[in-house]
Structure 1
Amino acid sequence: MITRDVARFLEAARELMPDAGAATARAAFLVMPEGFARAEQSASDNRYMADADAFDAGGALAEHRALQAALSISVPIVAFPGDPHTPDATFPNNVFATARVDDVPRAIVGRMRHPVRQRESQRADIRAFLTDVLAYPLVDLSTQPHACELTGALVIDRARGIGFAGLSERCDEEGARLMHEAFGLGATLLFDLAPGEYHTNVVLAVLAGRAALVVPNGFADPAVADAIVALYAPHGIVLSADEGTAFAANAIALDATRVWMSARAEAALAPPTRAALADAGFSVHSVPLDAIEAAGGSLRCCVAEIF
């Protein structure tokens, strides 16, 4: 089921048991920020992106190496080299993803809105890793016309097999339907992001299937945010606008007990947010990503999960 009807979605979601698959990934891959620079096409609809003179390529590489080392305490991490012709490739989760549908694995390639990012989807080495090394059959959405920027636009609760698809220039309704099918989801809620928001994973995170971080002002209709908070009660955690701007919702749980976010995001957490995460069974772990965040994304955007 894929719907804009919040009540209908909640009814279906509450009937789904948390047994659709593993709640967290078994590994992940990153793409290093070689050629790290402002991509003007992406900047046209990403208000979080800094001006060109704020980009520090050396700093971004150093941060990325530290990120790889840090995340490896949760899962095995593979890192691919970057490419100066794809300056946004540091955020591969928008382009590449994996899923298990009825416990059968698959790899998914998304359709990016901007040509500068469409180049990423054609990387032969990452495609070969997914299809030849992992031996995952490929669902290739990159050649159809509808934007569907994978786990940037679609936040997934893997345990329940449900999705939250925020619509914007980077994901239209047909793109959301294609992702719903590609990930084999039982229910997906469609909703509009607030003006100026480009990806759902900047305003929403589902953590290991049992908690959610929600930035209400990132949703065009606050009732949608309220419904998601209610679905994950008592661990639906409302973030302030300041926490959201600091990328606190651009977080990920790569195992059952740790939530990862940038150091900037962690510094912005209010005491009630920290307490709520602890109540949900999570310790907060962070990595400085100031240089990488100049490109308009944060820690979760850097991580392509392998299920």
Structure 2
Amino acid sequence: MQHTSHLLMIQPVHFSFNAETAVNNSFQNKSDQANVQAKAREEFEQFITVLRAHDIDVTVVEDTPDPHTPDSIFPNNWISFHEDGSICLYPMFAINRRLERKPSVLTAIQQKFVIGHTNDFTSYEKDALFLEGTGSMVLDRDKKITYACLSPRTNQQVLDEYCKKMQYQGVSFVAVDEAGAPIYHTNVMMCVADDYVVICLDSIKDPNEQQLVKQSISNSGKIIIEIDFNQMNHFAGNMLQVHNTKGEKFLVMSSQAYHALTPKQVETIHSFNQIIHSDISTIETNGGGSARCMMAEIFLPLK
């Protein structure tokens, strides 16, 4: 199944601007706002409330103050969970983000779900080769396709290894922002749902690569909802489709992303599923990630 009703989210303890990730994340800006951690915690709690109000199951694990992990609120970069009972651990670009792989997270998951085996790709860190989970890759789980824009955080060799081990077909390409810099994570420029794909095609400058992506989406039976650079910059590509305990489908995004969409785009999305959004502007500004980055989908079997 493309979407799940179970999510892992990490409650921040010391959320802050991370200088180690800012070197290649153009979405990230250090704000002058006071009490960033307190505001991020408030936004996090409200986001959880909104999700649970729609009967979506969220496993919340509170981060630990030691070791210091300012980006722990974005767990989808270091771990993913799969229907066959496997988990994947990923090589991370920023040294302080590697510390997010804390045993307490897996302990909490194992209280509710069955983990069969682990696919550990973290050894690539010693060679400075990275693949940051479902940030680097946007998965079409139904069709077993991995979409990935190559960047300092998304390496082709590690991507090929992932696709081989997980039996996915890789579709890789180069995507850049308006300044021509590589987009750091694929999940800020595209979102794959069950019947549609939200994508900033303008970011794929090579005509052949753009056609490759469009053809792959078409062959998978999905329609394209195209967003522009301005919408992408407001995190309108950073969305995640989920369903609730009643089987109702939703597209989850930030309020900033929602307000960047046109009425026609909203209408098209609503023809497939409802929309959930919440204000996480402090997290977006300082962390350079949005709603999708905060949610790691859990496809593991329940205990």
Tell me whether the two structures share a fold, i.e. TM-score over 0.5.
Answer: yes
Match for residue 287 of structure 1 among 236, 260, 278: 278
- Taking the aligned partners of 1:173 and 1:65, their CA distance within structure 2 comes to 37
Instruction: Give unpaired runs (5+ residues) of structure 2.
Output: none
Per-residue deviation, 1:131: 5.5
Q: Name the residue aligned to 2:148.
A: 165
- Taking the aligned partners of 1:108 and 1:131, their CA distance within structure 2 comes to 15
2:149–2:183 CA contact under 8 A, matched in 1: no
Q: Map 1:125-274 onto structure 2 (within 5 A).
A: 125-130=104-109, 134-136=113-115, 137-145=117-125, 146-185=129-168, 187-194=169-176, 195-207=181-193, 209-230=194-215, 231-232=217-218, 235-255=223-243, 257-274=249-266
Match for residue 293 of structure 2 among 286, 290, 301: 301
Per-residue deviation, 1:204: 0.5
| TM-score when normalising by structure 2 | 0.86
Match for residue 108 of structure 1 among 85, 88, 100: 88
Per-residue deviation, 1:141: 1.4
Q: In 2 relative to 1, CA 98–249 (structure 1 residues): closer, same or farther, beyond 3 Å?
A: same
Q: Name the residue aligned to 1:75.
A: 56
- Taking the aligned partners of 2:109 and 2:119, their CA distance within structure 1 comes to 11
Q: Deviation string for 1:185-235 (max 9, x for gaps)?
A: 2x111112222410000000001x211000123324254345444524662
Q: CA RMSD in A?
A: 2.0
Q: In 2 relative to 1, CA 133–258 (structure 1 residues): closer, same or farther, beyond 3 Å?
A: closer
Structure 1 stretch displaced more, 257-266 or 55-64 = 55-64
Q: Deviation string for 1:260-294 (max 9, x for gaps)?
A: 11001101101221122133x12222101111101
Corresponding residue SS for 1:169: coil
- Taking the aligned partners of 1:282 and 1:74, their CA distance within structure 2 comes to 15
- Taking the aligned partners of 1:74 and 1:219, their CA distance within structure 2 comes to 37
Corresponding residue SS for 2:124: coil
2:195–2:222 CA contact under 8 A, matched in 1: no
Per-residue deviation, 1:119: 0.9
Which one-letter code corresponds to 2:238 in the other structure? Answer: N
Which one-letter code corresponds to 1:254 in the other structure? Answer: V
1:27–1:77 CA contact under 8 A, matched in 2: yes
Corresponding residue SS for 1:120: coil
Which one-letter code corresponds to 2:174 in the other structure? Answer: D
Match for residue 61 of structure 1 among 41, 57, 60: 41
**Equivalent residue pairs, number:** 279
1:131–1:138 CA contact under 8 A, matched in 2: no
Structure 1 stretch displaced more, 61-70 or 138-147 = 138-147
Q: In 2 relative to 1, CA 299–258 (structure 1 residues): closer, same or farther, beyond 3 Å?
A: same
Q: Name the residue aligned to 2:99.
A: 119
Corresponding residue SS for 1:79: strand
Which one-letter code corresponds to 2:253 in the other structure? Answer: M
Q: In 2 relative to 1, CA 182–88 (structure 1 residues): closer, same or farther, beyond 3 Å?
A: farther
| TM-score when normalising by structure 1 | 0.85
- Taking the aligned partners of 1:204 and 1:26, their CA distance within structure 2 comes to 21
Per-residue deviation, 1:111: 0.7
Identity of aligned residues (%): 22
Structure 1 stretch displaced more, 130-139 or 41-50 = 130-139
Please say if 1:23 is aligned against 2:2: yes
- Taking the aligned partners of 1:65 and 1:222, their CA distance within structure 2 comes to 43
Which one-letter code corresponds to 2:290 in the other structure? Answer: S
